Structure 1
Amino acid sequence: MANTSFTRTYNDTVTATADRWGQKTWEDNISRASPILAFFMDD
Structure 2
Amino acid sequence: MNEFENNPQSKNNDVIDSGFGFVFSFLFFFLIFAIGVVFNVIGS
Q: TM-score, normalised by structure 2?
A: 0.47
Q: From the CA coordinates, give the structure whose radius of gyration is larger.
A: 2
